[in-house]
Structure 1
Amino acid sequence: MKDSYLEAIKLIERLHRQFLEVVKTELDRNGIEDINNVQALILFNIGSDELTVGELTNRGYYLGSNVSYNVRKMVENGYLIQERSPHDRRSIRVRLSDKGLALCKNIAAMFERHAKDLEKGISSTKALESASEAYRVLERYWADMLDFRGRSSLLGTG
């Protein structure tokens, strides 16, 4: 089990890096230089929603430590519109601008191309669903570990 677990962790990390490279290649192919791959994925995940910066993190739309920096860069480059919430003036909400929506459509088209390519025999829906279920099991396991921080059972001491 340990070897399989460690292999899964390595694959998750490697797949994530490769996927970010795929998104970067898509941006480069379209001559888009004013946004990076992580920021493009944040935009895609926001879609038509209007969210606070905290919600971006809580919903898992952002992987990284400096979401405020990325939001600021996307606002500066015209991909996001940032406004104070009318209900809570301390809260800042973001939504996609027309430029952001256009990029979001571009990324959606990329995903559509990928899905069509995968359907041509590279993979099956069932195989991807099985992989996703395995990832959800790990996600729940790790989330449970974090919910019980500090307990000795996490350290294997009983």
Structure 2
Amino acid sequence: MPEIPTTAAGGPMSYAIFQLARAHRAYAGALLRKMDLHPGQELLLMQLLDREGQTQSELLESVGLDHSTVSKSLRRMQEAGLLVREPAEHDRRVMVVHLTDKGRAMREPIAALWQSLEGASAGTLTEEQAAAFVETAGAITDSISGRPLPQEESG
């Protein structure tokens, strides 16, 4: 890992998380590009593979991305033939998302992607180190998620 900049010296763990996230995202992005997917699209596909016929709002909530990102991703995925969006019977303003056969065929490639990413991520770790990392990462996520976001100054 590169040397920590002096301005980040007060947050060595946070800087390590930043470096880890950046490296992981870059590697995952390269794997996704080989599958003709953009980052985040695999998360939407995984949600739909687990539960077909979700509304856009349900998908938005399950993946934790913002509305414009999900909307843009779904549009691109529809153009690529991975899914279709149809108005719900109960409310024509609500869009329900369904996978196409091409989208359903992504199950195995996505599972292989996660397996490859896991191998690259945990390749030199022992089982105990990997388990401890998962537990620690969960604790850090809970700690951050439990805090209110700093308010932006308006002005």
Query: Under a length normalisation based on structure 1, what TM-score does the superposition of the two structures give?
Result: 0.70
CA distance in 2, matches of 1:23, 1:129: 25
* Cα distance change of structure 1 residues 16 and 45 upon mapping to structure 2, 3 Å threshold: farther
Q: Deviations over 1:23-45 (max 9, x none)?
A: 223x2xxxxx4x43432442133
Corresponding residue of 1:88? 91
> Match for 2:12 among 3, 17, 32?
3
SS of residue paired to 1:82: strand
Aligned to 2:4: none
Deviation by residue 1:96-128 (Cα, 9 ceiling, x = unmatched): 11000112222223434566x57xx64344322
% same residue: 22
Task: Kindly report structure 1 stretches of 4+ aligned residues shifted beyond 4 Å.
Answer: 61-65, 112-115
Aligned residue number for residue 6 of structure 2? none
Unaligned runs of 5+ in 2: 1-9
Residues 1:59 and 2:43 aligned together:
no
Give the structure 1 partner of residue 82 of structure 2. Answer: 79
1:111/1:4 CA distance change after superposition, 3 Å? closer
Partner residue of 1:111? 114
Shift of 1:82: 1.2
1:123–1:95 Cα change, 3 Å: farther
| Equivalent in the alignment of 1:140 | 142
Contact 2:43–2:63 (CA under 8 A) maintained in structure 1: no
More helix by share: 1
Query: Is the Cα contact below 8 Å between 1:84 and 1:92 reproduced in 2?
Result: yes
TM-score (norm 2): 0.71
SS at match of 1:89: coil
The 8 Å contact of residues 23 and 37 in structure 1, kept in 2 or not, is answered as yes
| Aligned-residue CA RMSD (Å) | 2.9
Would the alpha carbon gap of residues 20 and 125 (structure 1) be closer, same or farther in structure 2, given more than 3 Å must change? farther
